[in-house]
């Protein structure tokens, strides 16, 4: 470390101001304004608290919270299981194989969520490709009801969120030295033992940050469950949208939004402590 | 055998996974060139009639124009502000850098439904619902994190000593910026702009609240159609959105390719 840093040369700090202003005026400002105004409209602080309590303990919200939680946990677990081998493959292969698999992950990743959801609606419909294939192979003799069920939501969400996990895991696995596993093998460890005792622990921070990101995105998910779920699969983000668009209940929307926002920020805080945010989403 | 077993299982799984990942994309592309009038697969005959409907219908043309206009506004704002911010992050010694960055990435973390409702809430009294510039500005907040993530990693490859050299050889600060930093960072800026455009072009939830009837974008019209009654033209519109994604990915690959050819140094050092 030489002390020849020219004074104030590195000082480009002021350049951050325009971006901060944009976020303050168009992002944070509206959020605060929305919360303050819609809660204030409910009356005195005591009335606000009473209303908030009534909203949070209402049957619709409790059911939606539990649905959101379960679907998000299940989606995160399924995405993790499905992604780990793909990321492992990417980390251990080069050349055309690597390029091809990466292509298959990246193209859906950058395709509009509404397009991906639409496609799954076509695939999972009563006469959709999935049912046609199941009937033809004789696995079922009646078409399955997949669309507008929890299964449909799970399939759609796993598909949409999988690339986030693959790219996060891959970023973590890329830095694992393959000679460590070889060393374990050379010292007599079996393939399974070497994997579970050497590779898996080394990839653990990728598993944790990937799971956090997918869970965070899941609890706020809207498009896919709104289009692919049935009447019983209402997630909290859908309830928030409905209370604004259908019942014009801004106060209720604000309470539910605060709840969802708080959960998101707590999880994001954990993510912040555990990982390098610059590597978010495998960047 | 012990080594070949798991390796083969992995290969089979990867093959299946790639198939499942690509199937929904391919299905849409095939449906788009089908002749059918309802969601049915495979189509019985091929035709480009839905593309003709898409590009011929004035309502779809308006949606396309809104989408492009909004994405252009969002792309310019997010790229310019994001570039300045990324430069500040890479070059300045400011404290709480990580905290500030994690704040600036929040628009992609906080559920879009909440953000969209808040933006809609303030847009109402200000008569901004349906205003393409306001929607573009709102989209810019969501595109900004993407620009930042891309440019942070690409600006790391720009050697600060080149800037010091230019400065000590008599260049002004502005001169350093326009003649050294900008040309070196240009490929990264181009990539960032492409993905910022795409982020806005594909965005649904914010547009859904803010578009009103005046400025419906393509994703909003697809959403409406999927909610009410699925029009067959949706397949062609979706295929068009996929084509835009494909174009962005191809252009980005070309930019990266050009960058590695022109300057192997920083790329190899990364």
Taking only the tens place, the pLDDT of each residue in A104-153 is: 999 999 999 999 999 999 899 888 889 988 999 988 888 989 999 999 99
Nearest CA distance, B223 vs chain A (angstrom): 7
Taking only the tens place, the pLDDT of each residue in A179-235 is: 888 888 888 888 888 888 989 999 999 999 999 999 999 999 999 999 999 988 999
Name the residue among B27, B91, B102 with its Cβ closest to that of A277. B102
8 Å CB contact of A85 and B149: no
Which pLDDT score is estimated for B270? 36
Cα torsion B48, B51, B57, B61 to 10°: value is -160
Neighbours of A77 (CB within 10 A): 14
Task: For chain B, give the longest Cα–Cα distance.
Answer: 71
Nearest CA distance, B179 vs chain A (angstrom): 17
What ipTM goes with this model?
A: 0.91
- For residue B96, name the pLDDT band (cuts at 50, 70, 90): confident
CA-CA distance, B104 to B224, in Å (whole number)? 31
Residue A175 pLDDT greater than 70, yes or no: yes
Question: A99-113, A232-246, B38-52, B107-121: lowest mean pLDDT where?
Answer: B38-52
Which pLDDT score is estimated for A7? 45
Mean pLDDT of A165-181: 92
Which pLDDT score is estimated for A153? 97
Complete DSSP assignment for A140-192: -SS----TTSHHHHHHHHHHHHHHHHHHHHHHHHHTS-HHHHHHHHHTT--HH
DSSP state of A102: H
Which pLDDT score is estimated for B40? 62
Tell me the sheet residues that pair with B228.
Answer: none
Domain B69-231+250-269 = CATH 1.10.3720.10: yes
Q: Which B residues in the span 155-184 are in contact with A, Cβ-Cβ below 8 Å?
A: 160, 164, 167
Mean pLDDT of B36-59: 80
Tokens of A177: 């030295």
Which pLDDT score is estimated for A173? 94
Taking only the tens place, the pLDDT of each residue in B169-228 is: 888 888 888 888 888 889 999 999 999 999 999 999 999 999 988 899 999 999 999 888
Q: Please check whether residue B230 is in contact with residue B247, taking contact to mean a CB–CB distance below 8 angstroms.
A: no
- For residue A281, name the pLDDT band (cuts at 50, 70, 90): low
Cα torsion A29, A33, A34, A39 to 10°: value is 150
Q: Which B residues in the span 43-72 are in contact with A, Cβ-Cβ below 8 Å?
A: none
- For residue A154, name the pLDDT band (cuts at 50, 70, 90): very high
Which pLDDT score is estimated for A55? 93
pTM: 0.92
Chain A contact set for B41 (CB, 8 A): 122-123, 128-129, 132
CA-CA distance, A41 to A250, in Å (whole number)? 9
Average pLDDT, chain A: 91
Which pLDDT score is estimated for A233? 92
Which pLDDT score is estimated for A90? 96
Spell out the domain ranges in chain A: 51-282
**Closest residue of chain B to A218, computed from CA coordinates:** B111
CA-CA distance, A144 to A158, in Å (whole number)? 19
For an interface test with B, give the residue of A1, A81, A99, A114 to mutate (most B CBs within 10 A). A114
Q: Which CATH class is domain A51-282?
A: mainly alpha
Q: Please check whether residue A268 is in contact with residue B109, taking contact to mean a CB–CB distance below 8 angstroms.
A: yes
**Closest residue of chain A to B136, computed from CA coordinates:** A26
Q: Please check whether residue B266 is in contact with residue B208, taking contact to mean a CB–CB distance below 8 angstroms.
A: no
Neighbours of B27 (CB within 10 A): 21
Chain A contact set for B185 (CB, 8 A): none
CA-CA distance, B28 to B20, in Å (whole number)? 14
Average pLDDT, chain B: 89
Which pLDDT score is estimated for B268? 39
Spell out the domain ranges in chain B: 69-231+250-269
Name the residue among A26, A227, A240 with its Cβ closest to that of B113. A240
* A/B interface, count of CB pairs below 8 Å: 250
Asked if B246 has any chain A CB less than 8 Å from its own CB, the reply is yes
8 Å CB contact of A30 and B149: no
Residue B122 pLDDT greater than 80, yes or no: yes
Residue A268 pLDDT greater than 90, yes or no: yes
Neighbours of A259 (CB within 10 A): 17
∠A145-A149-A150 over CA atoms, to 5°?
130
Residue B135 pLDDT greater than 90, yes or no: yes
Question: A124-128, A145-149, B123-127, B146-150: lowest mean pLDDT where?
Answer: A124-128
CA-CA distance, B170 to A1, in Å (whole number)? 26
End-to-end CA distance of chain A: 29
Nearest CA distance, B116 vs chain A (angstrom): 9
Cα-flanking dihedrals φ and ψ of residue A220, to 5°?
-100, 10
Complete DSSP assignment for chain B: -TTHHHHHHHHHHHHHHHHHHHHHHHHHHHHHTB--SSS-SS-SSB--HHHHHHHH-HHHHHHHHHHHHHHHHHHHHHHHHHHHHHHHHHH---TTHHHHHHHHTGGGTS-HHHHHHHHHHHHTTTT-TT-HHHHHHHHHHHHHHHHHHHHHHHHTTS-HHHHHHHHHTT--HHHHIIIIIHHHHHHHHHHHHHHHHHHHHH--HHHHHH-TTTT--HHHHHHHHHHS---THHHHHHHHHHHHHHHHHHHHHHHHHHHHHH-HHHHHH-
Mean pLDDT of B101-114: 96
Q: Please check whether residue A270 is in contact with residue A213, taking contact to mean a CB–CB distance below 8 angstroms.
A: no
Name the residue among B121, B144, B234 with its Cβ closest to that of A19. B144
Mean pLDDT of B107-117: 97
Residue A279 pLDDT greater than 80, yes or no: no
């Amino acid at each position: 470390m030489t002390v020849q840093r020219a004074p104030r040369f590195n000082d480009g700090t002021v350049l951050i101001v325009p971006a901060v202003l944009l976020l303050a005026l168009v992002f944070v400002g509206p959020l605060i304004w929305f919360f303050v105004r819609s809660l204030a409209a409910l009356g005195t602080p005591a009335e606000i608290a009473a209303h908030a309590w009534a909203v949070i303990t209402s049957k619709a919200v409790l059911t939606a919270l539990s649905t959101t939680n379960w679907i998000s946990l299940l989606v995160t677990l399924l995405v993790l299981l499905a992604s780990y081998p793909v990321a492992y493959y990417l980390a251990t292969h080069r050349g055309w194989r690597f390029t091809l698999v990466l292509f298959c992950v990246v193209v859906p990743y950058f395709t509009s969520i509404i397009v991906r959801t639409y496609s799954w609606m076509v695939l999972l419909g009563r006469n959709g490709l999935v049912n046609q294939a199941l009937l033809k192979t004789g696995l079922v003799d009646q078409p399955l009801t997949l669309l507008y069920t929890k299964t449909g939501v799970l399939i759609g969400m796993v598909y949409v969120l999988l690339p986030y996990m693959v790219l996060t895991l891959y970023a973590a696995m890329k830095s694992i030295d393959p000679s460590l596993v070889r060393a374990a093998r050379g010292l007599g460890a079996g393939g399974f033992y070497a994997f579970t005792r050497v590779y898996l622990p080394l990839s653990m921070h990728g598993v944790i940050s990937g799971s956090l990101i997918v869970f965070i995105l899941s609890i706020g998910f809207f498009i896919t469950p709104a289009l692919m779920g049935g009447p019983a699969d209402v997630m909290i983000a859908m309830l928030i949208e409905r209370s604004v668009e259908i019942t014009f209940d801004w106060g209720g929307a604000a309470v539910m939004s605060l709840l969802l926002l708080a959960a998101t920020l707590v999880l994001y805080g954990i993510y912040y402590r555990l990982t390098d945010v610059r590597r978010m989403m495998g960047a | 055998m012990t080594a070949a077993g798991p390796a083969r299982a992995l290969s089979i799984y990867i093959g299946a996974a790639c198939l499942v990942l690509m199937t929904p994309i391919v299905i849409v592309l095939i449906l788009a060139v089908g002749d059918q009038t309802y969601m049915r697969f495979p189509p019985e005959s091929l035709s480009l009639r839905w593309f003709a409907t898409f590009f011929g219908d004035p309502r779809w043309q308006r949606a396309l124009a809104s989408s492009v206009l909004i994405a252009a506004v969002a792309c310019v704002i997010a790229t310019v502000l994001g570039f300045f911010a990324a430069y500040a992050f890479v070059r300045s010694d400011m404290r709480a850098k990580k905290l500030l960055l994690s704040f600036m990435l929040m628009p992609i973390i906080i559920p879009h439904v909440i953000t969209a409702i808040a933006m809609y809430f303030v847009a109402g009294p200000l008569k901004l619902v349906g205003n393409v510039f306001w929607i573009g500005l709102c989209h810019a907040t969501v595109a900004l994190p993407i620009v930042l993530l891309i440019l942070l990693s690409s600006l790391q490859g720009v050697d600060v000593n080149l800037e010091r050299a230019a400065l000590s050889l008599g260049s002004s600060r502005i001169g350093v910026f326009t003649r050294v930093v900008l040309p070196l960072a240009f490929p990264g800026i181009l990539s960032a702009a492409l993905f910022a455009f795409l982020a806005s072009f594909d965005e649904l939830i914010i547009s859904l609240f803010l578009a009103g009837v005046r400025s419906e974008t393509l994703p909003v019209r697809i959403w409406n159609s999927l909610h009410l009654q699925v029009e067959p033209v949706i397949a062609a519109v979706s295929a068009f959105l996929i084509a835009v994604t494909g174009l962005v990915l191809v252009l980005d690959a070309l930019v990266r390719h050009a960058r590695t050819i022109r300057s192997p140094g920083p790329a190899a050092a990364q």
